Amino acid sequence: MTHNGTETIAENVRQILETIPPTVTLVAAAKGRSPQEVETANQAGITCFGQNYVQEAERILPEVHSEVEWHLIGHLQRNKAKKAVQLFDMIQTVDSWRLAVALDRACEAIEKPLQALVEINSGREPNKTGVLPEEVDELVRKLSGLEFVQVRGLMTMGPRFGDPEDARPYFRATREAFEKLSALSLPNVTMEILSMGMSNSYTVAIEEGANLVRIGSRIFGQSSAESQSASS
């Protein structure tokens, strides 16, 4: 795996923070990154980090000694709900009623409220998780009745590679769903966070209303797998 050095990570963070509005939260996607790399990014100004897998988070989080916020940004299986609520401050990938109920029960057991985003499959891609746009209203209405899971907004992935402009319609559709849900003023649903955009598409996502972006390779450097996918 290709890792950037300490100075490079710090410089990358500085450049990104200079180019995004202060109202946008930068989540550093730390999949496959060492605790030292997380610490370096934190010292450069990032306070929020994302992990894709519960198993990796279990290993890495105890070794990070800075006070940071952790988000789960990868797909979550119901059988990992118990561990996930202990590890993460926010789950960005709630995509079903059954998962939400499992999370709510796990939270009840440890009396911990959980911030959550509902993931929308805005591109209707069969290989991606997330609720279809036309189903999100019904799911969020149901989630508003849960005691511990608190819906704070929506998340969408958008295409990972290719022309960032191709993602614009998906980001726009997600923002429209976000605005529609905001207007409903549902109990226990605040609709404050619109999480869209990654390393290749975050500028387009911000133009379309994102106030949280998830950036990994632009901070830490690409893994060898990412390099091959991007060039193929």
pLDDT score at 158: 74
Residues 137, 133: Cα–Cα separation, whole Å = 8
Q: Work out the widest C-alpha separation in the chain, in whole angstroms.
A: 47
Which pTM does this prediction carry?
Answer: 0.92
From first CA to last CA, the distance across the chain in angstroms is 18
pLDDT score at 214: 97
Name the CA radius of gyration of the chain, rounded: 17
pLDDT score at 4: 64
pLDDT score at 3: 53
pLDDT score at 224: 43
Would you kindly state where each structural domain of the chain is located, as residue ranges? 6-231
Beta bridge partners of 29: 50
Phi, psi (rounded to 5 degrees) for 187: -65, 145
8 Å CB contact between 167 and 158:
yes
Per-residue pLDDT of the chain (232 residues; tens, 9 = 90+): 345 688 999 999 999 999 999 999 999 999 999 999 999 999 999 999 999 999 999 999 999 999 999 999 999 999 999 999 999 999 999 999 999 999 999 999 999 999 999 999 998 888 889 999 999 999 999 999 999 999 999 999 876 778 999 999 999 999 999 999 999 999 999 999 999 999 999 999 999 999 999 999 999 998 644 444 443 3
Q: Quick one: 6-231 is in which CATH superfamily?
A: Alanine racemase (3.20.20.10)
pLDDT score at 228: 41
pLDDT score at 159: 67
